[in-house]
Structure 1
Amino acid sequence: MSPSAATQSSDLMEVIAARRSQARMRAGLALGLTLGFGAITGWAWAMAWFCIYAGLQAFEYFVLARRTPPPWAAVALLVTNSVVFGVFALAGPLNDGAFGLCCWICLLCGGQLNSALTSQKSRLAFLASSTPFALYLAATPVVALWLGAKPHQAVSIAAAAALIVIFTHMIWRAAARALTAESEARALAEAADAAKSAFVAMVSHELRTPISAILAGAVEAKSARSAKVRDSNLELISSSARMMRTLLDDLLDMSKIEAGRMGVEITAFDLRRLMLETVRFWAPVARRGNLAFRLEGAHSLPAWVEGDPTRIRQVLNNLLSNALKFTESGAITLRMAAEPCPDRTFALILEVIDTGPGMTEEQIGGLFTAYGQLSDSVARTHGGTGLGLNISRELARLMGGDLVADSAPGQGATFRLSLNLSLGEAESPADTALQEQTGLSVLIIDDHEINRRAFTLILQGAVDPIVTAENGQDALAILARQPFDVVLMDLNMPKMGGLDCTRALRAAAGPNQTTPVIALTASAARSEIDVCLAVGMNAFVMKPVEAAELFGAIERVLDAHEATVAAVA
């Protein structure tokens, strides 16, 4: 049996099963029709009809409870029910003339509508149950002529009968489409819920792994008897923390994409250097896996361009990471091409090509779906959230490009990132010697002691003195009596948050009224950044904070502050 025939048979059996549950209701309806129309059809005819029709319902209710009929028997059952039902109405015009004909037409209309409403799942069931009613309606003009109707009256009755049949079919189609759409929506919702549940379970597992490693590494590092063992445990802690940050970054990026809050920035950067750094990062990983790492077309790239280097690097890292995960032997190729376009723009094509197992068309179709991976074994074997490719495609499209995949089983896979970038101007080299400066005073304001200790560890040696406060109120008291070069401000704190604290600092005269304030935030939403700048903050750093990002932000705000002071002087 073909898949379509099997589906039709399954749908037909669903209609039959639903009809069985309505058998007693149909028997009760038959009794009401017998009592209501018996005087028109004749009581003897009505009682005989009731016995036959009720017997059919009893057969359907009791016999079909024990066994499922074959499709041909189910169709025959539906046809027989409709034929018997229509026969009852036929006695109306035979016994009571034109009035009986009206009653017959009304009953046939009811039968047609019932066929449409009880057979939405199966076209075969609808045709089997409605066709007898359609034939009865087709006979109404003939019966009308037999009763003495004029030809034009018979034509009008025929037109009305045809409209009834057509409208009934339209009603069935609309109901069937609505039922199909509802079923598909329910299936998609259930699949999405199942995928999200599996995703949450997987993320819980993925987070437990680095947390366990951090706890174990911390215990071992504390009791280590040699510097080598301590360094090894510290490296374990650092690697686990980076793993957790990757997971959290994926979750945050996905939530921002779903909320429509993800954004990209345009800045000048060295494209060739970005590619070189990416290759330098992943080449050792490929060598450890006994894979060749090839670079093609680097000479065609322009140097300085305008775009979002962070997001381009993120997409590339995702693609190369996946390629290395799924390629056991052979090579990974990063192919680059740039085609000049008018108005100082060019089309950038970056391809990541692997020699892995490849994918089917079905797998490619679900490749960029959120909360999913090609199989459960992928998460168990390689880890990860399964969000990387979905996030990468969304980022590519936010940057005005796209990300597509091309593959076949046994032939590896090619992921193609296409972007349109503008040519940029080289920036003047920045002074990155903050770590060598001394005498800088910093106030760290955060309600979590762990964060205050972490920021202190990052800054100690480069900044002195370092003062901490756990909320905005305590910070204002410190800022009123002691000058600082930089203030690191958390946003969400008890008693007084970072935004209110900054407003109060800028509004009141004091030694730190113009001191640069850097926001420490877990959100990169443009709206929240704008609010931070509007209240008087000078920059922001995303949590979890990395040393290079924090030092870079401090250096930028200090340079800007010195330039402002010099301009005023």
Structure 2
Amino acid sequence: MRRPSLGLNPGNELEQASVRLLMGLALYAYVYTYPYTSWFNQQDSLQSLNQTALVFFSAILLLLASIWVWPQKSPLRRVIGMCMDVGMATYLIQASAGIAGLPLLGIYPWVIIGNGFRFGTRYAVAATFISMIGIASVLDPRHLGSGNSHALLATLIIFGVLFLYMSKLISRLNGAIEEARKASLIKSQFLAKMSHELRTPLNGVMGMSELLRETPLSAEQTEITGLIQNSSRTLLELIENILDISKIEAGKLQLHPIDFSLRSLLDQSCSSLLVLAQKKGLYLVWDSPESTPDLLRGDTRRIRQVLYNLIGNAIKFTEQGGIEIKVRSLPMTHREIRLRFEVIDTGCGLSELAQEHLFEAFTQVHNATQNNAEGTGLGTTIAKELVEKMGGQIGVESVPDKGSRFWFELPLQPAEKPETLQETVVNRAKQTPVLILANPALGQTLGNALKTWNIPSTQTDSSHRALELLRSAGNRGKSFGQVFVDQQMMDMAVDHFARLARDEQLIGHTPWVLVSDASLRFDRYFQDMGFSAVLTTPIDKKMLFNLVHTVQNPRENMGNNIVSLHDHYQQSQGKKGLSILVAEDNIINQKVVQGILRQAGHHVRVSSDSEETLDILAESSFPLDLLILDRNMPGKGGLDVLKAYQMMETAHPVPVIMLTADATPESMQACLEAGASAYLTKPVDARMLLDQIARLCQTRAASAKAPVGSTASAAATRSGALIDESALQGIVDLGGPEFLAEILRDFAQDGEQLLRVIQAALQQEDYPGYQDAIHALKGSSVQMGAHALLENCLQAEALKPHAMSGAEILNITAALQQNFHKTCRALTAYLDGQRQTR
């Protein structure tokens, strides 16, 4: 069993106990000096002092051990600690029988202040009460002389008033801290609420502009629509940033470390931003020395988010030159690796004053040479919070008009299973070969540059030989990754060579790059030949790097305007138009979703509230293939409607997609646990919605074709029939492998409990109890895409009460139990595979 984290101890008892140990050592160092021991009344007092020291330090160690084993808050342990401190101080002062013990009176205010600040006002009052008893004991006239009774009484009063005053100040301070905490929480809740509410109108803007682009538009109208979409995406990014800020300030941001390859993460992160740099004519290069450890463990999602923010800012504030990303390792310990990431740009730079406020929220740095900068200043703030959350540091070095160097350092762990990442690293090195048709000198220059990035090349200076190589590669089914053609050294004209290759269908999807001097203008003529880009000589390695990685890491935003929604759905293997019910109360969202679905060829019916939705679902005349539910409808919400539908239709339920503006992992998990087949956040991405629909319909079709026998065990003979990997991939895409691991743990635990309930109900012939447990297990099976287990549950639900004493229910239940354990193993194998590839 895993030990609870010490972070669960809200009062930080560990710190107080550690200070107690140090104070105890200092206290006895003073007590064992000769001036102190010389005041002892009897010779055996020293032996008594040794015994009490042994008891005191043993008690301290026991308290430390109890905090380590049981770190939760313990009022009793805190009071025991107070009594130990006051009791030991009181004993030592009394044992001194003189003025040598007077300095120890400082222990009492320390007990009050320490407990008050760490644990609150109640503990300050308790410490004051216990300390007053100790002071009254040591100031007893029987110990210090009866003639001093009035002075001792005055001392007692002074200490009492002083302690009460300190308690009052501590109370006010704690109250102010609590008010500040509440104010921060309210602010975070407000930000989260506003980001949630903004998604609904934003869904209308993005959805309608997407539908508008499906209609015939002029060039100017297309440009305007594109600007609307770009502005909407910027607003959506701002909303996501606000949500992250609210999570961080509320302390709800969780880290999910996984094993990963540093170089793969760097390639993926930088390649996705390469197109933004190229649009501004900037270079974007990145490098990680071979000496830098590659197989690590950390939260890749958050590391990537920090890189996106810093690189995105560098691109925004750079007009000439480019950006360089460097990663290197710092001195490390046996179990910790510390990396330093640097984002270096040639942009406008920052003044010293701007650098001081750069990481403050909503601070937009202005520069006289950069008046068109946009943004809210949240990017650097989020980067700082994330880096510190991961235990690192972040900073900036900049010179105005010269550029900036942003850096952050992160402590990471070595990969727990490095051997599982080796195959990924090897595959990364095995890049698709490049064909170079050029003179020997230029060919060698290009080949050597490509070799530094582990990209093999084949070089030739003959056009006919190049055509033979292209034919041979095509016959083997292995095309070249790129073809570089030198315009200056050709034994035939460029257009003739390209025409021959095109006529023989040797170009295909392979990018062709024309290598020429800077005087060549790359226009439509060369595009019609089949060339994708031009590389000017002399060769700039940075530009070559950009070009190669642009091809090998296709831009995600390409193709959005090439394929219509209908064609996109057809290409997603969603060939048939479906009958879909959309339950959504917002009229704008209704039109958006309805427009997307109809563009894709579906038949749509819309309902505006939960009651209307349930009425339509109850109609046997409405052929339903898919249900899309808004989670936050008035009256009954989407989750309530889903539960009611599951009670209405238990034999053949249709897939359900839940739409919500709540983008938190908790919301997603609640929807999936309720039985939703998929979960999408607003604003609705048209292609993501169509992809989900195509996937769900394929899954349902495959399930419908599955053989149904008395035991149904044949359906679960292999992993592919047990689980729907596309459904699991949807969960991974939303929350990462660790989120899937969390859901898998819940599925396994709940499933084991339900199996016990099913077995008990079967033995007692409790039909309602049996059906309730089967229904719950069915919901979990849908969530996890467990095909065979779902089939067993459907068979069990179809049984009648009189079947409780027959052989059929025994066979179905046995198959269900068997397939449950097989499904858990298949899910675990899938999860391991996901962890290996990240």
TM-score by length of 2: 0.38
* CA deviations over 1:153-207 (Å, ceiling 9, x no partner): 999999999x89x98xx89x979x99x989x989x99x99xxx9xx99xx99xx9
**Contact between 2:292 and 2:328, CA under 8 Å: does it hold in 1?**
yes
Partner of 1:519: 658
Cα 1:469/1:158, change in 2 over 3 Å: closer
1:357 maps to which of 337, 349, 361: 349
AA matched with 2:394: V
Partner of 1:249: 240
1:234 is the counterpart of 2:235: no
Partner of 1:445: 583
* CA deviations over 1:454-493 (Å, ceiling 9, x no partner): 2234344545223322222222233333344432221100
Q: In the aligned structure 1, how far is the partner of 2:319 from the partner of 2:266?
A: 24
Partner of 2:406: 414
2:374 maps to which of 339, 362, 383: 383
1:496 maps to which of 636, 646, 649: 636
* CA deviations over 1:113-133 (Å, ceiling 9, x no partner): xxxxxxxxxxxxxxxxxxxxx
1:170-189 to 2 correspondences below 5 Å: none
**Contact between 1:250 and 1:388, CA under 8 Å: does it hold in 2?**
yes
1:389-538 to 2 correspondences below 5 Å: 389-396=380-387, 400=390, 402=392, 404-410=394-400, 412-416=404-408, 418=410, 419-420=412-413, 435-441=572-578, 442-462=580-600, 464-480=602-618, 481=620, 482-509=622-649, 513-538=652-677
Partner of 2:139: none
AA matched with 1:294: V
Cα 1:287/1:396, change in 2 over 3 Å: same
AA matched with 2:645: L
Cα 1:351/1:561, change in 2 over 3 Å: farther
Cα 1:493/1:377, change in 2 over 3 Å: farther
Q: In the aligned structure 2, how far is the partner of 1:537 from the partner of 1:154?
A: 84
AA matched with 1:474: E
**Contact between 2:282 and 2:320, CA under 8 Å: does it hold in 1?**
yes
1:7-406 to 2 correspondences below 5 Å: 227-263=218-254, 275-297=266-288, 310-337=301-328, 350-355=341-346, 356-358=348-350, 360=352, 366-374=357-365, 382-396=373-387, 400=390, 402=392, 404-406=394-396
How far did 1:242 drift? 0.8
How far did 1:319 drift? 0.9
How far did 1:546 drift? 1.9
| Secondary structure in 2 matching 1:334 | strand
| Secondary structure in 1 matching 2:572 | helix
* CA deviations over 1:502-555 (Å, ceiling 9, x no partner): 1011112367x5322222122233333332222211331122222344345445
**Contact between 1:359 and 1:413, CA under 8 Å: does it hold in 2?**
no
Q: In the aligned structure 1, how far is the partner of 2:248 from the partner of 2:702?
A: 37
Q: In the aligned structure 1, how far is the partner of 2:357 from the partner of 2:589?
A: 40
| Secondary structure in 1 matching 2:634 | coil
The count of corresponding residues between Structure 1 and Structure 2 is 397
How far did 1:278 drift? 4.0
* CA deviations over 1:333-361 (Å, ceiling 9, x no partner): 1224579999999766543222442454x
AA matched with 1:466: V
Q: Which runs of 5+ in 1 are unaligned?
A: 1-151
**Contact between 1:267 and 1:307, CA under 8 Å: does it hold in 2?**
yes
AA matched with 1:477: D
How far did 1:369 drift? 3.4
| Secondary structure in 1 matching 2:633 | coil
CA RMSD of aligned residues (A): 5.6
Cα 1:256/1:438, change in 2 over 3 Å: same
How far did 1:255 drift? 2.1
**Contact between 1:359 and 1:412, CA under 8 Å: does it hold in 2?**
no
Q: In the aligned structure 1, how far is the partner of 2:628 from the partner of 2:250?
A: 28
AA matched with 2:285: R
**Contact between 1:434 and 1:551, CA under 8 Å: does it hold in 2?**
no
AA matched with 1:465: H
Cα 1:548/1:378, change in 2 over 3 Å: farther
**Contact between 1:261 and 1:526, CA under 8 Å: does it hold in 2?**
no
| Secondary structure in 2 matching 1:444 | strand
Cα 1:461/1:414, change in 2 over 3 Å: same
Q: Which runs of 5+ in 2 are unaligned?
A: 1-144, 425-567, 707-714, 716-787, 792-838
Cα 1:331/1:526, change in 2 over 3 Å: closer
Cα 1:383/1:538, change in 2 over 3 Å: same
| Secondary structure in 1 matching 2:223 | helix
AA matched with 1:522: A
Cα 1:234/1:518, change in 2 over 3 Å: same
How far did 1:281 drift? 4.1
Cα 1:531/1:286, change in 2 over 3 Å: closer
Q: In the aligned structure 2, how far is the partner of 1:526 from the partner of 1:492?
A: 16
**Contact between 1:485 and 1:515, CA under 8 Å: does it hold in 2?**
yes
Q: In the aligned structure 2, how far is the partner of 1:291 from the partner of 1:473?
A: 56
AA matched with 2:684: V
1:544 maps to which of 683, 697, 700: 683
Q: In the aligned structure 2, how far is the partner of 1:277 from the partner of 1:396?
A: 19
How far did 1:374 drift? 4.8
Cα 1:499/1:245, change in 2 over 3 Å: same
Q: In the aligned structure 2, how far is the partner of 1:240 from the partner of 1:502?
A: 35
Q: In the aligned structure 1, how far is the partner of 2:671 from the partner of 2:278?
A: 45
Q: In the aligned structure 1, how far is the partner of 2:149 from the partner of 2:350?
A: 66
**Contact between 2:280 and 2:319, CA under 8 Å: does it hold in 1?**
yes
AA matched with 1:237: I
* CA deviations over 1:361-410 (Å, ceiling 9, x no partner): x7556443334445799998523222222323444455x45351232545
How far did 1:564 drift? 5.6
Q: In the aligned structure 1, how far is the partner of 2:371 from the partner of 2:219?
A: 32
| Secondary structure in 2 matching 1:382 | coil
TM-score by length of 1: 0.53
Q: In the aligned structure 2, how far is the partner of 1:562 from the partner of 1:305?
A: 41
How far did 1:256 drift? 2.6
AA matched with 1:435: S
* CA deviations over 1:125-144 (Å, ceiling 9, x no partner): xxxxxxxxxxxxxxxxxxxx
* CA deviations over 1:25-46 (Å, ceiling 9, x no partner): xxxxxxxxxxxxxxxxxxxxxx
Q: In the aligned structure 2, how far is the partner of 1:554 from the partner of 1:307?
A: 33
Q: In the aligned structure 1, how far is the partner of 2:337 from the partner of 2:378?
A: 29
Q: In the aligned structure 1, how far is the partner of 2:679 from the partner of 2:687?
A: 13
* CA deviations over 1:202-226 (Å, ceiling 9, x no partner): x99xx9xx99xx79x98xx89x996
